[in-house]
Amino acid sequence: MVARGSIHRPHPDRGEPPRPYSCLVRSTFGHHYLPPDKGQLEAALASDAIVAFDTNVLLNLYQASQSVRDSFFRVLDALGDRLLLPHQVGVEYHRNRVKAIQDIDAEYNALIRKGEELADAGRNFAQGRERRDADSVDDVRGLIKEATESLRLELEKRRDQDPHRVEPSNDHIRDRLEDAFDGHVGRAPKPRKLARLVRDFVEVRVPLELPPGFEDAKRKSDPARAAGDYLIWEELLACAKRREQDVIFVTDDIKPDWWRKGGNGSPTVPHPSLVSEFAASTGYDYFQLTTSQLLKKAAALDVDVSDADVEEVEAIQAAASAAEAALEQQLREMREIYSQALDYKAITGLNPDISRSFISRIIGDEPLFDFVPKIDLPVPKDRHERRQQNDQPEADERPSGEEPSENESENDRGSDGVG
């Protein structure tokens, strides 16, 4: 029996063939065995590891209170020259910044629209009874009008005074990010290299489900957009090689192509393949944190962050995760509807271009959920039954004088039971 940790050497007298490799399982796949070393992570955070940030971390600042924003920027100041803003993150941040700002207004505007719907219902209340109950009807309509108008004015006031609100043209969050990351932005890939990376992502990594990014490929029809996470990953690898340092990546993306999750669904450790690829490619260590985890460990940087700030960030992350889960469920339902529709040739009359547009709207960058009707389709028959059914002549095709078979139902013969 070979002792653990020793290398088996073939015994020539026993006729044992030499083994082509001598690597041990645990040393080769150690990233699947070893739990994360918290002391090692905190030491890397406190010393010289590069700390890079994902797009969602920066955009979530627009949902946070001023206290959380201040704590976050104190952490950035403490990291100093070790900061890294991957070029792809910068592209995505500026692409989505205005929408993140408008999301605050959108929440209020949704409530205002609900109030307008109630106002419309009030104006239409008891139509046709005005002659008999004019006073009563007018009282109810007046009550609803007064209440909805007051509600609209109060919501508009609170929207305009919301402390989270930022004007796109006077964005102090962007200004502070600019100050923090000036001189620490990743290099933009040349067009030819970018095209090669996107092609490798689509043709190799997605089919093999190599992280990160294969989850985004399921929902984004534009290959360059779907490859965003992979482009960030390539920047992290290149930066670690060039600067010869470990990397800590801070992301609030909790999809399974970034994280392995614990029993409660919260992210615990990076995907093992990420750790393995990083070590094999760079020779350095790779660590991963969410924003709340980073703030919890801010003491390693001599930065004090309150428990209330950490709890608020956790709540923001939980809301984003719930929205992500709801989106995934909607996409799964629509894919199932579309699959059934194809099976029954429910859309065979569509022009091919329209069909492709239909697919894109289901699994594209901006799914239009209301576009897809709720189709109640019967349970699929097996292939043999469908072939038999297709081989039977239709009523119009039955030779004249031939009577319907005894197996035909009343519905098959028509409402009067005649073929």
Cβ-based neighbour number of residue 358 at 10 Å: 15
Mean pLDDT of the 112-131 span: 75
Between CA 27 and CA 34 the distance in angstroms is 10
Is pLDDT at 388 greater than 70 in this prediction? no
The whole-number pLDDT of residue 399 equals: 42
Residue 374 tokens, joined: 């709720």
pLDDT for 353-374, tens place per residue?
Answer: 444 555 454 444 444 333 333 3
The whole-number pLDDT of residue 416 equals: 39
Nearest one of 22, 21, 47, 25 to 285, comparing CA atoms? 47
The whole-number pLDDT of residue 367 equals: 41
- Rounded to 5 degrees, what are φ and ψ at 263? -65, -30
293 vs 126: which has the higher pLDDT: 293
Q: Which helix (H) or strand (E) holds 286?
A: strand 286-289
Please tell me the least confidently modeled range out of 137-141, 195-199, 209-213.
137-141
Mean pLDDT of the 61-82 span: 94
Give just the sign of the alpha carbon dihedral 353, 359, 361, 364.
negative
197 vs 215: which has the higher pLDDT: 197
Cβ-based neighbour number of residue 200 at 10 Å: 15
**Beta bridge pairs of residue 250:** 53, 289
Domain boundaries, the chain: 25-197+231-302, 306-394
CB 290 within 8 A of CB 54: no
The whole-number pLDDT of residue 4 equals: 38
Report the Cα 78 to chain-centroid distance in Å: 30
Residue 344 tokens, joined: 């029954």
pLDDT for 3-40, tens place per residue?
Answer: 433 344 444 555 555 555 555 565 566 555 555 566 78
185 vs 133: which has the higher pLDDT: 185
Kindly tell me the number of DSSP H helices and DSSP E strands found in the chain. Answer: 18, 6
